[in-house]
Amino acid sequence: MDINYQLKVFEELSLRDLYSILKLRQEVFIVEQDCVYLDCDDKDMEAYHLLGLSESGELVSYSRILPPGLSYDDAASIGRVLTGKSTRGSGKGHDLMKVSLMYCQLLFEDVAIRISAQCYLIEFYSSLGFETVGESYLEDGIPHIEMVFISGEEESDS
């Protein structure tokens, strides 16, 4: 499946875009992960939204790119990274993160990139050039760890 990526600021999102984003985020982070938390955290309005659309226009992957100062004082961040069930396990999550990193570097040149990763995804993010920082911690009842982007060299895709 080919995915068409579109980067939009909050004001460029249509009502359909916003509904699709919030619906998919709730499906993955709240329902699938059985985690009750406030998804609308006032960061969406200052963020860049990377929409991964299928050939039919369905939202199948998504990430939120945050400028420095929004989550981390000294770093940009990528969050709310997800793929829908229809694309999971196909390598599209890796593709989504590569595109997210590319946009993050274009938008915020020479700024560090930090993420709050769910611990079970450490190997996934490490394969993209992230390294863990500090100790794990609970966020909304799920083990997380801070990671920082170190290099653009990724392991080869198999």
65-89 tens-digit pLDDT: 999 999 999 999 999 999 999 888 8
Asked whether residue 119 carries a pLDDT value surpassing 60, the answer given is: yes
Which residues lie closer than 8 Å to 132 by C-beta, 6 or more apart?
A: 122, 126, 145, 146, 147
Q: Within the chain, where are the H helices?
A: 15-25, 92-107, 122-126
Tell me the two tokens of residue 69: 């100062």
How does the average pLDDT of the chain come out, rounded?
Answer: 92
First to last CA, the chain: 17
Distance CA 44, CA 57 (A): 22
Exposed, middle or buried, 122 (CB in 10 Å: 0-12/13-18/19+)? middle
Percent of the chain at pLDDT > 90 equals 82
pLDDT given for residue 70 in this prediction: 95
* pLDDT surpasses 70 at 157: no
Residue 152 and residue 61: Cα distance in Å, rounded?
22
Q: What is the pLDDT of residues 26-57, one digit of tens each?
A: 999 999 888 888 899 999 999 999 999 999 99
> Which structural domains are found in the chain, ordered by start?
4-110 (3.40.630.30)
Q: 72 CB contacts (<8 Å, ≥6 apart)?
A: 112, 114
pLDDT at 153 (0 to 100) = 47
pLDDT value at 131 more than 90: yes
